[in-house]
Structures are given as structure tokens and as C-alpha cells.
Amino acid sequence: MVLEVFGFRFKQRMSHNTMMWAQLDRCLFNQVHGVEKSLDLVFDVLHYMTNFNVVTDLCALLNIYEIMRKQFEKGIIVTSKETATELLAIIAHG
């Protein structure tokens, strides 16, 4: 099964992924100043991940959002594509 989010297609492995995505709501954006800039960054990261097959599974994407959210809670704010890519590298390598 494939789920489309923001125009990107993700393989859906678990039936509750759609609900998990809905629960995320805007937790990522609400904690960052400049919602528009954050949204652009997320789109950039999604584009990078999907085009280069870094992440094709929606569950993995949700895990990335959760880690980013925890970083924001610690005061570490993703302010650039490079910072986001570093986070993705950390996640990818465990």
C-alpha cells in the first residue's frame, strides 16, 4: 500500500501510519519561529529523501519527525537544510 503525503509517495507498512501522521499535526512547525521557512525546509528534506531513496517508508519519516520534535524541545532548532541532513544521517546510522 502506498500513501501520498505532500505529493510524495511512501510505502505504508502499518495500518496506523495514517493516524500517526494526523496526530503529528503541526507539532514540528508550532515550536519553530517562522512557520513558512520551516515548511520550506521540510519540503526540501522530503524532496531530498524521496528523490535519493533515503526514506521511502512513511513509518521511517514519522520517526524522523519525532526525533526532530525532541531536538526542538531541547532547544536545538533545525535552521538549515544542512542541519536537517545531519539529523537524517544520525538517524540513518542509528
Distance from C-alpha of 86 to C-alpha of 94, rounded to nearest angstrom: 12
Percent of the chain's residues with pLDDT above 90: 0
66-94: per-residue pLDDT in tens?
666 676 667 665 555 556 566 656 555 54
Residue 60: pLDDT above 60? yes
Q: Under 8 Å CB-to-CB from 82, ≥6 apart: which residues? A: none
Q: Under 8 Å CB-to-CB from 73, ≥6 apart: which residues? A: 31
Of the pLDDT bands very low, low, confident and very high (cuts 50, 70, 90), residue 13 is very low
Angle between helix axes 58-73 and 81-92 (nearest 10 degrees) is 120
Distances (CA, A) of 50 to 31, 69, 75, 82, 85: 25, 21, 28, 16, 13
Of the pLDDT bands very low, low, confident and very high (cuts 50, 70, 90), residue 62 is low
Could you tell me the residue ranges of all domains in the chain? 2-92
